[in-house]
Each structure stands twice: as structure tokens, then as C-alpha cells.
Amino acid sequence: DGNAVPAKPKGGFGDPTFIFMMVAMFAIIYFLMLRPQAKKQKETQNMLNNIKKGDKILTVAGIVGVVGNVKDSSVMVKVADNTVLEFKKAAITAVINDENKIEKTASEDKAK
């Protein structure tokens, strides 16, 4: 028949099911990956901003020392008698508190 109207194709980008699936996938990615990562990054930044003189720290190189002086982007760390090293704050993996607990940062979690 020359008068037959072609059938409308099903599926594709205009399909409401496709749009719903894309929104659902984005929501899953956001809540399982992006949101927790942003939370860890905020906690890490908070820890680094609260480092003070006398804190015991662990660096990404595995060096443990006591903070002697805190600058804007770096800290001076005493690792032994008469030995003071300067580290960027980003190189600090954790602050070790008095109960010997380690407050981990995102950089240590990435290593796992």
C-alpha cells in the first residue's frame, strides 16, 4: 500500500524510559561516588587547617614527627633531636592524637 504510514520507531533519546534511566544512573553515581568523595575532601581540608604546634603527624612518606611551626601551606616537623623538616600540608596523611588513634585523610584512603 502506498498510503501506509510508517510506524513510529520505539526507543531512542526522546523515550521517557531512556530519560528516566539516565537520571537514575546520575543519581546513583552522585550518591555512591561523588558525594562521599566531597565529604572526605572536606574532612581532610578541615584536618589540615586545624593542625597546630605540638600535633604528632604522619606524612605520605611514612615519617612521623611533631609539628613545630605552621605556615600557610607548609609545616615544620621535628623528626629527631636537632632535625627539623619542612613539609607541604598536602603531604600530611594523618594527625595522630594522644590515644594513638590516627585520623586518616583522603590521600591515605586513595592508596588502598
Residue 104 has pLDDT above 60, yes or no: no
* Per-residue pLDDT at 9: 59
How many domains does the chain contain in total? 1
CA separation for the pair 99, 111 (Å, rounded): 24
Residue 31 lies inside a defined structural domain of this protein: yes
Mean per-residue pLDDT for 94-110? 63
Tally the C-alpha atoms within 13 A of residue 42's C-alpha that lie toward its C-beta: 6
- Check residue 109 and give its pLDDT: 55
Q: Please name the residues in contact with 48: beta carbons below 8 A apart, sequence gap of 6 or more.
A: 89, 90, 92, 105
Q: Is the pLDDT assigned to residue 106 strictly greater than 50?
A: no
In a domain, 22, yes or no: yes
Residue 40 located in a structural domain: yes
Query: pTM score, two decimals?
Result: 0.59
Listed range (35-44, 54-63, 72-81, 94-103) with the worst mean pLDDT: 94-103
What per-residue confidence (pLDDT) applies to 80?
A: 93
What is the rounded distance in angstroms from the CA atom of residue 103 to the CA atom of residue 108? 10
Q: CA dist 107 to 18, 93, 101, Å? A: 37, 6, 17
In a domain? residue 106: yes
Measured CA to CA, the distance from residue 93 to residue 32 in angstroms comes to 24
- In a domain? residue 85: yes
- Domain residue limits at 89: 16-111
CATH (domain of 97):
2.30.30
Handedness of CA 102, 54, 110, 86 (dihedral sign): negative
User: Is 5 a member of any domain?
Assistant: no
Instruction: Give 52-90 pLDDT, tens digit per residue.
Output: 999 999 999 999 999 999 998 999 999 999 999 999 999
Alpha carbon distance, N-terminus to C-terminus of the chain: 66
Residue 37 lies in a domain: yes
> What number is the average pLDDT over the span 1-13?
61
Place of cell 605520605: 60
